[in-house]
Structure 1
Amino acid sequence: MSAYKPPHIPASQITPEHIYLKRRTLLAGLAAGATFAAAPGAFAAGEDLSQGDALKTVKGPIPAPADRKVTSYEDITHYNNFYEFGTGKEDPYRNSGEFQPYPWTFEIDGMVQKPQTVDIETLLTKFPLEDRTYRMRCVEAWSMVIPWVGIPLKSILDLAEPTGSAKYVAFQTVVRPDQMPGQRGFGQPMPWPYVEGLRLDEANHPLTIIAVGLYGKTLLNQSGAPMRLVVPWKYGFKGIKSIVKMTLTDKQPPNSWNLLQSNEYGFYANVNPDVPHPRWSQASERVIGEGGGFFGGERIPTLMFNGYGDEVASLYAGMDLKANY
């Protein structure tokens, strides 16, 4: 008689040990009559992290710009640029199921007094989460209004105590070709890892956040899980996803699209309707999810700095914004 062989279970369906142990602890506490509640605007200590789970934040009505509706969760999570999963707009949704965003750590190094490796679960118990609804514009001339949940980037960088010599922040995304089909095989769209950068004053601006969720839920893989940069006055390619490293430096860091096509994509990427892309105008944008879904949305005029000029124009006083595109 042959020996019993257990059924094969794919690795992607096996609960990670750190999640199993936390859930066991939670169930034991509930059995003892313990009460678990999140502090106002904070992530609950010991809470499991899974993509798409509800964040334990105190939620009010989702604010929106006076002239625009908030884009639906369906549209936000099905129409994405994330070339690590493919170059089509729906490729990230279709191809990101094997990506594992938890557990997750990232480094803060370079010109800092306290270089460190930060665990995202520890990070989320340290800082209150903030609801930020931003108009977001892609360089391909389409836009969404997205209700992000995140942490000011400055708060995170301050953990490492940047030195007075630091002028920029360089970012790097994860490289996992076994989980990210766009990073393997022939015909890859760009060199990996994807890299980006900000001037330190841009990084420290109150509008700049590291998003960990949207619509009150943790980020889905296609949206940049578990953490991504959001800078609402810049084009979408600045919003590097699945970040594993932040480096403080005194030199302007490279950014992937500028390395790939410098005549089309500059370092600053500030939304400027007066500077056309070499292959199309930037004077108007197509609103995703309004009046025609992905392909037939209403076209509206593009606003300088994406409508955030009152808050950020002073960062660029005296600069030629056509030369520094």
Structure 2
Amino acid sequence: MAQRYNSGLGWADVTPKAGWLNRRHLMMTMGAALAASPALAATGPYSTDEAPNSLEDITSYNNFYEFGFDKTDPAAHAGKLTTSPWAVEVDGLVDRPGSYDLVDLLKGLPVEERIYRFRCVEAWSMVIPWNGVQLSHVLDRVGVQPGAKFVQFTSLARPEEMPGVKAGLLDWPYREGLRMDEAMHPLTLLATGIYGEPMPNQNGAPIRLVVPWKYGFKSAKSLVKITLTDRMPYTTWNALQPKEYGFYANVNPEVDHPRWSQASERRIGAGLFASRVDTQKFNGYGDLVADLYKEQDLARDY
């Protein structure tokens, strides 16, 4: 495992943008690498120029129901999660199925920093500096067969370390899915870190999906299985509440959730009295992804 430079500074101090940029530059020039891959992180071309949230914001306000329903439960309980060693099973319509050690699955793939807007279906949002590899690079490595039309992602369900799993809060394991063209889009990331550090447990360590133009529940955490299939896969929230959570879950201010408006969002870290922010269609990534849905009625295929 790579040894990281430790400046003695905490990333909770990085809220001012100028200070964060200076520290990011320092880490990059020191050759900081993600623990899950020997490749160095480079800033990718898809990052927003919005100031990111502090690490404290990002790691203290989470939905990760395997650890409980409260926003503070993941930070309180995820420290017990064992993340090494870690394997990801790849199966279905692939040329090279198998159980891959995480290091082997990602070895040699280009690691990028992606500063993405993150929009929760609950109408709150953040800006998060992820590190990771494009999902398309991993799928190319295992070989996508011509009949594959969808990808299903399965999260860890380990009741002895996850109190929400032990309590049966949902139908475990958590599963999500993408259409193949969504999965192969260059924005779609397998993230292994935040702020150049290994992924915190409460954010989905050691590897999670990030799909920035979709609501956050599409970005399955602590992945243990990737399945390529020829049919739309089972997904947890769509199965439990199909009238509330569609398969596509694209961020769309024009289509309200049955219980609240999606026209605006509350930015975490902005303060109790900050004004809400207008929600952007596709979370602001429409110029890159709108063509994927040009033949669809997004009010129906929500």
Give TM class, smaller chain. Answer: 0.7 to 0.9
1:88-237 pair list within 5 angstroms: 88-185=70-167, 188-237=168-217
Superposed CA offset, 1:270-299 (max 9, x none)? 00000000110000000001133xxx5431
Q: Does 1:260 find its partner at 2:240? A: yes
Is this contact kept in 1: 2:41–2:110, CA < 8 A?
no
Is this contact kept in 2: 1:108–1:246, CA < 8 A?
yes
Give the Cα separation in 2 of the matches to 1:41 and 1:171: 31
Go from structure 1 to structure 2 and tell me whether the alpha carbon gap of 1:40 and 1:109 turns closer, same or farther (over 3 Å shift).
Answer: farther
Deviation of 1:39 after TM superposition, in Å, equals 11
Aligned AA for 1:198?
Answer: L
Is this contact kept in 2: 1:137–1:234, CA < 8 A?
yes
Aligned AA for 2:115?
Answer: T
Aligned twin of 1:316: 293
Deviation of 1:69 after TM superposition, in Å, equals 2.1
Aligned twin of 2:283: 306
RMSD: 2.6
1:64-79 pair list within 5 angstroms: 65-66=48-49, 68-79=50-61
Go from structure 1 to structure 2 and tell me whether the alpha carbon gap of 1:179 and 1:131 turns closer, same or farther (over 3 Å shift).
Answer: same
SS at match of 1:277: coil
Give the Cα separation in 2 of the matches to 1:65 and 1:106: 30
Q: Does 1:272 find its partner at 2:249? A: no
Go from structure 1 to structure 2 and tell me whether the alpha carbon gap of 1:56 and 1:298 turns closer, same or farther (over 3 Å shift).
Answer: farther
Give the Cα separation in 2 of the matches to 1:270 and 1:303: 11
Go from structure 1 to structure 2 and tell me whether the alpha carbon gap of 1:168 and 1:42 turns closer, same or farther (over 3 Å shift).
Answer: farther
Q: 1:249 aligns with which of 229, 234, 254?
A: 229
Aligned twin of 2:19: none
Deviation of 1:41 after TM superposition, in Å, equals 7.5
Q: TM-score, normalization: structure 2?
A: 0.86
Give the Cα separation in 2 of the matches to 1:83 and 1:202: 25
Aligned AA for 1:113?
Answer: D
Instruction: Report percent identity of matched pairs.
Output: 52
Give the Cα separation in 2 of the matches to 1:243 and 1:65: 26
Is this contact kept in 2: 1:148–1:214, CA < 8 A?
yes
Superposed CA offset, 1:92-149 (max 9, x none)? 0001111111110001110111112211122343212100000000000000000000
- Greater C-alpha Rg: 1
Aligned AA for 2:177?
Answer: G
Q: Does 1:291 find its partner at 2:291? A: no
Is this contact kept in 1: 2:41–2:111, CA < 8 A?
no
Go from structure 1 to structure 2 and tell me whether the alpha carbon gap of 1:281 and 1:128 turns closer, same or farther (over 3 Å shift).
Answer: same
Deviation of 1:58 after TM superposition, in Å, equals 5.2
- Alignment length, in residue pairs? 278
Go from structure 1 to structure 2 and tell me whether the alpha carbon gap of 1:165 and 1:321 turns closer, same or farther (over 3 Å shift).
Answer: same
Go from structure 1 to structure 2 and tell me whether the alpha carbon gap of 1:64 and 1:126 turns closer, same or farther (over 3 Å shift).
Answer: closer
Q: TM-score, normalization: structure 1?
A: 0.80
Aligned AA for 2:263?
Answer: A
Give the Cα separation in 2 of the matches to 1:191 and 1:65: 35
Superposed CA offset, 1:35-73 (max 9, x none)? xxx9997847xx6x6xxxx99845679x9644x421111
Is this contact kept in 2: 1:151–1:210, CA < 8 A?
yes
Give the Cα separation in 1 of the matches to 2:95 and 2:38: 32
